[in-house]
Amino acid sequence: MQDIKEKLYLLCLNFIEQRIHTAETALEQSREASNDDTKSSAGDKFETTREMMQQDISRNKRLLMDAQQNLQLLNSIKETPSNDKVRNGNLVYTSEGVFYISISAGQLKLDGESIFAISAASPIGNLLIGKEKGASFDFNGKHYLIKEII
């Protein structure tokens, strides 16, 4: 079972590394475009374009920061042992699906099985955290029963 968690960890790591690369590339392109445009614009058009580019740079910086924080979180849960209560790093089998409490990476396919990588801060993650095997809860009109925590 630890092998499954290791594979899920690597899938999430790949997901977050791609997000970091994409954000870094977009940030660099935004900066280059901003530098190129300042050489040839004038007047009100210049100010509007410059502000739009600055907003684009700021948005890409936030995306990069968010991705880097997710990477730190992911690294902090790499070696999470099984526990009686759900916490970050656990793989949780429920009556309605399997959840890897880590980062919000969405649905992952592993050996033909769908597993949802979710953040503990997500609505369903928030409901799972601290629950024990055999506990149940309702979410979006569905009843969930925790079958196993790894």
For 69-93, write each residue's pLDDT tens digit: 999 999 999 877 777 899 999 999 9
Q: Is the pLDDT of residue 41 over 70?
A: no
Confidence of residue 37 (pLDDT cuts 50, 70, 90): low
According to DSSP, the β-strands at 142-149 and 136-139 are: antiparallel
Specify the pTM: 0.82
Q: Compute the residue count for the chain.
A: 150
Spatial separation of the C-alpha atoms in residues 6 and 38, rounded to whole Å: 48
Q: What mean pLDDT do residues 28-35 have?
A: 84
Q: How many helices (H) and strands (E) does the chain have?
A: 3, 6
Q: Distance between CA atoms of 112 and 7, rounded to whole angstroms?
A: 13
